[in-house]
Structure formats: structure tokens, C-alpha cells
Chains A and B, each alone.
Chain A
Amino acid sequence: MENTNIKKINTAGLVGYILSVILIVGAIVAMVCIVLCTIGAITISDNNINVKIATNVEVNSTGNFLEKLGSFISIDGIDNLNAFTEDAKDGIKVNDEDLSELQIQENDGGFVVNAKTNEITISMKRIIVALIAAIVLLVFTIYALFTVKALMKALKDCSTPFSEEVIKRMTRFSYAIICVVVLNTLLSGCWSSLTSKFTYKININLESVLLVAIIYILTVVFKYGAKLQQESDETL
């Protein structure tokens, strides 16, 4: 391979190496914070904590105000804004979530909705489980970042990308990233169930699956490339 291409690979490896070191430091700091939070959550004697979430929505609309508002909130049988706000004083439901202290103001281009959710009770056990899940995910993420660092170091110093060292690092990285994506998918249910009733939902992120598939395929392609390189080197 031409020297310029190797130089480009070495430079990319150097940049990747620096970035991976920064990311590792960030991930370790995040893990320390989460571990401290977990210890704090365990030591808190309360079983539950109550939170109120405020929300603010500004909608620009040129058409019928109530018609547009109806696409956000159920307004059956309400003829005008005053009647609606009067009716909504005691609280309304949006996406099965109770809202209170609702204030709606009409402005020039549309309307602004201010509301607060009713108090949501979150079990301390769920918070601890979510924090532990985050720690587990971070441990695997840090391992994956270390494999990236090793891969970038190999690319930084390599004379050909089809060397045994690069392939070994790349294989480790692809397996680590598969673990991280699978764990992230499995553990995402712990976080999504924090504020709602306990329903464990698995959200499969297709982009992550595609990314992992591409990385794995590239690893296999590089393995084949290394084999061809070896055959070429051993042919006289």
C-alpha cells in the first residue's frame, strides 16, 4: 500500500486514540458519580420519593385554535378557550398522564400551554435498580472504549491495516460493542419504567443493531483481507 495511505491511517489512529482516552476519562468520571449516587440512594431511608414535572408547550397555529389544541388534548364538547380552561382547572389527562395547574394562553401565532404533572411517586428500589443497571452498562462501555483505544493504538503504529495485531483488536472491539448494544437494549426497560407503572419494555434501537452489524462485517472483511495479505506475502 502507498505510504500516503498508511500515513492517513496512522493519523486517524492517533486522533482516535486521543478521543478514546478522553471518552474513557469521561466514562470513568460518570461511573464514579453513578456509584456515589447509588450509595446515596441505598443509604436514604425513604422508600419512595415524590416528584412534580413541569411542562411548557408553545404551539404556533394559523387555523382554528381549539381544533389545533384538540390534536394535543381531548376537548370534546368544549366550544371556546374560556370554557376549556375552566373545565381543565381540576386536571386533565394527556397520554394517560394526569396534568394539573393547567394554564393556556392564546397569543398572536398560536397558544402556550403550561402544566404540571400530579405528584409521581417513584420507588427507591426502582431507582437503585436503574442505577445499578447504569453501572453495569458503563462497565461494559468502558471495556469497549479500552478495546477502541487498543485498536487505535495498533492503527497509529501499524505499517499495514491487515496485520494480525489490528485484526485481533478489531475482533475484540466488535464483540465488546455487541455486548454493549445487547445490554443497552435489555437494560433500557429499567429506565423507561422509572416514572410509569412497572412495565418492562424492551426498545430495540435499529440504528445500533445496524452499526454493530456493519462493524462485525468490517471485522470479517478485514480478517479475509489479512489472509489475502499473508498469502501475497508468502508468494514469490
Chain B
Amino acid sequence: MGKIILRLDRVMADRKMSLNELSEKVGVANVNLSKLKNGHVSAIRFSTLIALCEALDCQPGDIIEYEK
């Protein structure tokens, strides 16, 4: 079975955005964003995804990848 990988660190690096800055823009705690970055979550809400896409000016596909 394949898995979903979050590429948040790559997009953040492209945008030259720090975790603290993103945390302020998205309104999600630093700790939780860190969990997202390291893939220590089992699900992500649409509202969080929308906030991330708005803050990073990207598409959901840029953040989420499916790997076989």
C-alpha cells in the first residue's frame, strides 16, 4: 500500500519561509506545523490545507504527494 508524503519543507524552502512565519500566517501552532512537516500526522483538514495553500501561494498537489 502506498503512502502520502507531505512536502511542506520543500515548499517552505522554495518560498524562503520559516516555520514561525508560516505558523503566524496559517494560525497553527509551531509544534503542530512541525508535526506536519515531519509527517507525524494521520490526516489534514481542508481548512488547514486551504490556509497553507494561501500562505505559501501554492496548490495542494505541491504540498501533498502520493508515493507507491
Contacts and interface: CB of A to CB of B under 8 A. Distances in A.
Interface in B32-54: 32, 35-36, 40-45, 48
Contacts, number: 20
A230 to B, nearest CB: 8
A236 to B, nearest CB: 5
- Chain A, interface residues (CB within 8 Å), range: under 10
Interface in A198-236: 231, 234-236
Contacts of B48: 236
B64 interface: no
Interface of B: 28, 32, 35-36, 40-45, 48
Interface of A: 231, 234-236
Given A231-B42, A234-B43, A236-B41, 16 more contacts: A231-B43, A234-B40, A234-B41, A234-B42, A235-B41, A235-B42, A235-B43, A235-B44, A235-B45, A236-B32, A236-B35, A236-B36, A236-B43, A236-B44, A236-B45, A236-B48
